[in-house]
């Protein structure tokens, strides 16, 4: 049996990479326009970074983390999400000493031991944005705006932005008590996970994927009536900015997130074309997180785009790999003659290839077609004696002779035309 990749871990093949690049480049363009800086953090953190921040009773910490003891006896975890590690880095390097508001992005793989299915992998990829150091409602809107902008620029249609406010430490507890009471009444109908959650972290029951639990939660009391003036006002302002920006939204009072550190604004961007795993981007405000991880008591708001899910929505690029020039050198003398030319063109940034093996013209033309060459330069021994080479346009099939002395600039002219 040949060795296969680990279940839920996927190779990104050369044919698919174009799409990844397109997504990354559009995201970078948007981040540049919004004044974000990139940060790159390790894939591995001390387990406590996640246990302390995400919350002990979440799906992620309870059953999805890749945690192991390393050879020094430390408990380490492959990051299941980016925010906690990023906040750890911000604290560790005191980035706030340089600027009162940090606007950062990072991209890369996350790891969760979930059941692999369409749109759900064990190694998946996110584009993350974090804006820290401000409580301003406009920063919440800006984070949503960035996600919306990236998805729109990629041509995604029928997206739905769902938004909710979870309340804050001032108003959340009252609601939580009320919800607890409701859950006590329906306790025996909840799944075993939710029975536990209902006692310790009742909000989490809203996030259960179990159908029976969902039905029960559809009748649960909602936190809308419990929001304090500050939270209600904040939400109103975030929504008003969204309206100004023409970003449509629906208020979903059942929306909670899979991580404990969220307060106030929470949102998801959903695509109807994704089936069960329909959330392409998600995020919210996490004002207590920096402090929980030993940093300053500063607010923050962020989002993550699930790149693998997003890619399921994009048309595969039909265009294969393409290079500017393929060199069909015939015979050892020609093979040697062309090397300085290749060196020059590659320095200029042209994509140039030639065959590694000595082959006949027919075989080399076939290879040029396979690699998607725009032009082929045919360099035969006889032609070289006459100080001539042949350039063939693979699209029009036109070909003409070029003097050897002029070949460098002739090719450059053709390719840049």
Which residues contact ligand ATP by CB under 6 A?
81, 112, 114, 119-121, 124, 126, 257-258, 277, 279-282, 304, 306, 308-309
First-residue to last-residue Cα distance in the chain: 51
Find the shortest distance in angstroms from Cβ 345 to Mg ion: 49
Q: CA nearest 301: which of 269, 266, 268?
A: 266
Q: Where are the alpha helices (DSSP H) in 154-287?
A: 172-185, 192-200, 211-217, 229-244
Number of residues that bind Mg ion (CB under 5 A): 1
DSSP 6: P
Residue 98 buriedness (CB in 10 A; 0-12 / 13-18 / 19+): exposed
- If DSSP codes are grouped into helix, strand and coil, which group holds residue 158? coil
DSSP H helices in 222-348: 229-244, 289-292, 307-312, 332-337, 339-347
How do strand 250-251 and strand 160-165 relate by DSSP bridges?
parallel
What is the Cα–Cα distance from 42 to 260, expressed in whole angstroms? 22
Choose the one of Mg ion, ligand ATP, none that binds residue 204, judging by a C-beta under 5 to 8 angstroms depending on kind.
Answer: none
Closest residue to Mg ion, judged by C-beta, is 258
On whether the CB atoms of residues 201 and 57 are closer than 8 A, the answer is: yes
Tell me whether residue 155 or residue 321 sits nearer to ligand ATP (CB atom).
155
The partner in contact with residue 113, picked from Mg ion, ligand ATP, none with C-beta cut-offs of 5 to 8 angstroms by kind, is none
Residue 90 contact, options Mg ion, ligand ATP, none, Cβ 5-8 Å cut-off depending on partner type: none
CA distance 225 to 243: 23
Q: What is the CA radius of gyration of the chain?
A: 28
87, 89, 91, 93: CA torsion to nearest 10: -150
d(CA 410, CA 395): 18
- Min CB(63)–Mg ion separation in Å: 10
> In sequence order, what are the residues at sequence separation of 6 or more whose Cβ sits closer than 8 angstroms to the Cβ of residue 363?
355
Indicate the residue among 310 and 352 with the shorter CB distance to ligand ATP. Answer: 310
Q: CB of residue 350 vs ligand ATP: minimum separation in angstroms?
A: 38
Helices (H) and strands (E) in the chain, counts: 16, 16
Least CB distance to ligand ATP at residue 271 (A): 10
Residue nearer to ligand ATP on the CB measure, 81 or 324 = 81
Task: Give the C-alpha separation, 146 to 180, whole Å.
Answer: 36
Listed ranges 121-129, 257-265, 346-354, 356-364: which one lies at the site for Mg ion (CB under 5 A): 257-265
Quick one: 9 or 34, whose CB is closer to ligand ATP?
9
Q: Which is nearer to Mg ion, 258 or 288 (CB)?
A: 258
Q: Is 357 in a helix, a strand, or coil?
A: coil
Name the binder of 308 from ligand ATP, Mg ion, none, CB < 5-8 A by kind: ligand ATP
For Mg ion, which is the closer residue by CB, 258 or 299? 258
The two three-digit tokens of residue 417, written as one number: 């035309």
Residue 137 contact, options ligand ATP, Mg ion, none, Cβ 5-8 Å cut-off depending on partner type: none
Q: Which of ligand ATP, Mg ion, none interacts with 186 (beta carbon under 5 to 8 A by kind)? A: none
Residue facing ligand ATP at closest CB distance: 306
The tokens describing 47, both together, are: 């387990």
The answer to whether the beta carbons of residues 313 and 286 sit under 8 Å apart is no
Q: Nearest distance from residue 227's CB to ligand ATP, in Å?
A: 22
| Number of Cβ atoms within 10 Å of the Cβ of 289 | 27
For ligand ATP, which is the closer residue by CB, 119 or 299? 119
Q: Binds 277, which of Mg ion, ligand ATP, none (CB < 5 to 8 A, cut-off by type)?
A: ligand ATP
Give which of Mg ion, ligand ATP, none residue 81 binds (C-beta under 5 to 8 Å, depending on kind).
Answer: ligand ATP
Nearest approach, Cβ of residue 262 and ligand ATP (Å): 9
Judged by beta carbon distances under 5 to 8 A according to partner kind, the member of ligand ATP, Mg ion, none in contact with residue 309 is: ligand ATP
Interactions with Mg ion, residue window 387-406 (CB under 5 A)? none
- Choose between 149 and 162: whose C-beta lies nearer to Mg ion: 162
Q: Rank residues 276 and 417 by Cβ distance to Mg ion and give the closer one.
A: 276
Please state the separation of Cα 151 from the chain's center in Å.
Answer: 11
- 126 makes contact, choosing from Mg ion, ligand ATP, none, with CB < 5 to 8 Å by partner type, with ligand ATP
Nearer to ligand ATP, 247 or 311 (CB): 311
Binding site for Mg ion (CB under 5 A): 258
């Amino acid at each position: 049996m040949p060795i296969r990749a680990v279940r839920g871990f996927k190779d990104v093949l050369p044919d698919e990479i174009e799409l990844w690049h397109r997504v990354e480049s559009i995201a970078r363009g948007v981040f540049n326009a919004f004044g974000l800086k990139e940060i790159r953090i390790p894939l591995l953190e001390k387990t406590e970074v996640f246990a302390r921040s995400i919350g002990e009773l979440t799906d992620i910490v309870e059953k999805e983390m890749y945690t192991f003891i390393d050879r020094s006896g430390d408990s380490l975890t492959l990051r299941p999400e980016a925010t906690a590690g990023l906040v750890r880095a911000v604290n560790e390097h005191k980035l706030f000493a340089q600027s009162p508001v940090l606007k950062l992005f990072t991209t890369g793989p996350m790891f969760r031991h979930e059941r692999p299915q369409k749109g759900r992998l064990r190694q998946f990829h996110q584009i993350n944005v974090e804006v820290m150091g401000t409580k301003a409602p406009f920063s919440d809107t800006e984070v949503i705006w960035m996600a919306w902008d990236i998805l729109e620029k990629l041509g995604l249609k029928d997206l739905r932005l769902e938004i909710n406010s979870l309340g804050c430490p001032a108003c959340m507890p009252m609601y939580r008590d009320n919800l607890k009471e409701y859950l006590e009444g329906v306790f025996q109908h909840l799944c075993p996970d939710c029975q536990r959650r209902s006692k310790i972290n009742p909000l989490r029951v809203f996030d259960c994927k179990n159908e029976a639990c969902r039905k029960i939660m559809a009748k649960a009391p909602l936190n809308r009536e419990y929001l304090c003036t500050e939270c209600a006002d904040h939400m109103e302002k975030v929504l008003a900015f969204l309206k100004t920006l023409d970003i449509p939204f629906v208020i979903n009072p059942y929306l909670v997130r899979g991580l404990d550190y969220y307060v106030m604004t929470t949102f998801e961007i959903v695509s109807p074309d994704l089936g069960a795993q329909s959330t392409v981007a998600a995020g919210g405000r996490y004002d207590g997180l920096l402090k929980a991880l030993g940093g300053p008591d500063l607010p923050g708001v962020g989002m993550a785009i699930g790149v693998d899910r997003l890619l399921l929505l994009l048309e595969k690029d039909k265009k294969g790999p393409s290079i500017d020039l393929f060199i069909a050198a015939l015979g050892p003398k020609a093979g040697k003659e062309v090397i300085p030319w290749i060196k020059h063109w590659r320095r200029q940034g042209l994509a140039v290839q030639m065959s590694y093996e000595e082959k006949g013209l027919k075989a080399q033309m076939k290879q040029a077609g396979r690699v998607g060459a725009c032009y082929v330069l045919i360099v035969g021994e006889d032609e070289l004696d006459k100080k001539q080479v042949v350039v063939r346009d693979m699209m029009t099939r036109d070909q003409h002779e070029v003097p050897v002395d002029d070949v460098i600039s002739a090719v450059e002219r053709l390719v840049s035309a």
